[in-house]
Chains A and B, each alone.
Chain A
């Protein structure tokens, strides 16, 4: 068990809808990362937060947004959903903001857009 909790585990929704994915990092970890994993594009980095502040941005669409709250949990909001947004969304946490510390991944949220 990595200590990172993601909810919900599965989400099925229709095109055009909006969903929120939630992540609780491992105790003591200040950094939260969001990744998208699809069959054809591998693991794509979306965004990183450190102690409430956005730290780095990857290939995150404008329809997607995220935030990290004072209690360090994070939410990823996906809006105007398209079929191509169907994927596994992972949250990961680490102790620090840099790339020196290993990441601890949750088990993901599987999003299906119909």
Chain B
């Protein structure tokens, strides 16, 4: 069965420091991988996707994600966190269907 795991419920980081939000997946065949962000009282907003090609994917707002096939991971990264990055982040994997992780709350302190 297809699954997506986000092992951390919350990630805390200081403004200006690098951030990583972890995601691992289990999908048969080649996966389509996505990151979404959700701000309070808003819908999920698409950040970036990996379909094929370069393992490092760049997305909106300075975010990037690294696809690692051997570790079946797709971690979200940003070199320098902003307080405004504080939100709920969802990883999703598509194969025969789209599966979302349970979300990771990112808190960036000033």
- List residues of chain A with CB under 8 Å of any chain B CB: 2, 4, 42-43, 45, 56, 90, 92, 98-100, 102-108
Contact = CB atoms under 8 A, between A and B. Distances in A.
A31 to B, nearest CB: 11
Sorted nearest first, the 8 A-B pairs with minimum C-beta distance are A99-B94, A105-B43, A99-B98, A102-B46, A105-B44, A42-B102, A43-B100, A107-B43
B43 A92 contact: yes
B22 interface: no
Interface of B: 32, 34, 36, 41-46, 49, 51, 90, 94-98, 100, 102-103
A2 B43 contact: yes
Given A104-B46, A107-B43, A99 B95 contact: yes
B49 A102 contact: yes
Contact of A56 (B44, B97, B100, B103): B97
Given A2-B45, A92-B44, A105-B45, 4 more contacts: A99-B97, A102-B46, A103-B34, A105-B43
A106 B43 CA distance: 5
B32 A99 contact: yes
From B34, B41, B46, B98, residue with most partner A Cβ within 10 Å: B98
Nearest to A91: B43
Nearest to A108: B43
A92 B42 CA distance: 12
Contacts of B94: 98-100
